[in-house]
Structure 1
Amino acid sequence: MNIKNFRLISILEGISYLLLFGVTMPLKYMADFHGPNKIIGMIHGILFITYVAMALVLQRKQNWSYATLFIILMCSVVPFGTFWMERRYLRPA
């Protein structure tokens, strides 16, 4: 497990978040079309759990402070947060 893999997961998690709440939730509640929400919801759930697990493991490997870990974890629940976090904390200088 390394930063490169975590960067990929963070971007995919951010995309799945936006698809879930920006596309499939409106389809579910406004158009009564549930199929995409179930699929994207499952993908988002798996990516979210993977993101959190990888952040916890990398916190020790990268010697992140608890404050940094907290910010990285909070970015997973804020729209566009994982994209900002990826640029701020994971991109090589």
Structure 2
Amino acid sequence: MLKSFRMISLIEGLSLVALVCIAMPAKYMFNNPSLVPYVGMTHGVLWLIYLVMSLSASHNAKWSVGYWLFTLVLSVVPFGFIVLELQLKKSITAQEGSESPELT
């Protein structure tokens, strides 16, 4: 579950960066608002998927409410997904390291 959440976190974070660093400057600096509806809608849908998957990952990994709220804050901060990516990668590595194969 954490691997899936990690993937959607990366995609959602990149969509926020595209919205803030590409679509919005195109609208306000170059008077070209045509990208904003497409990038904005895509980001909105991805954020809703992120929200649902964060709840599921939170339940499965037994995160505290504070840590789950921290993941939500990181989802609305540009480049916040990088911080979450590093933490999720550590969690996944630790989780895989604790699973030792049974000898028969």
Task: Give 1:3 shift.
Answer: 1.2
Q: Deviations over 1:23-55 (max 9, x none)?
A: 110111121212211111111101111111111
Higher Rg of the two aligned structures: 2
Aligned to 2:78: 79
Query: Structure 1 length as normaliser, TM-score?
Result: 0.90
2:13 equivalent to 1:14? yes
Say whether the 8 Å CA contact 1:24–1:36 is kept in structure 2. Answer: yes
Stretches of structure 1 lacking an aligned partner (at least 5 in a row): none
Alignment RMSD:
1.0
Residue 60 of structure 1 deviates from its aligned partner by 1.1
Distance 1:7 1:35 in 2: 30
Give 1:80 shift. 0.9
Q: 2:29 is matched by which residue type in structure 1?
A: M
Q: Residues 59-84 of structure 1, C-alpha deviation per residue, up to 9 Å, x if partnerless? A: 11110011111111110011111121
Letter aligned with residue 76 of structure 1? S
Which whole-Å CA distance do the structure 2 matches of 1:9 and 1:80 have between them? 14
Task: Measure the CA separation in 1 of the matches of 2:81 and 2:52.
Answer: 15
TM-score by length of 2: 0.82
Counterpart of 2:67 in structure 1 is 68
Structure 2 unmatched runs, 5+: 94-104
Partners of 1:8 and 1:72 in 2: CA distance: 14
Q: Is the Cα–Cα contact under 8 Å of residues 10 and 83 in structure 1 kept in the other structure?
A: no
Percent identical: 36
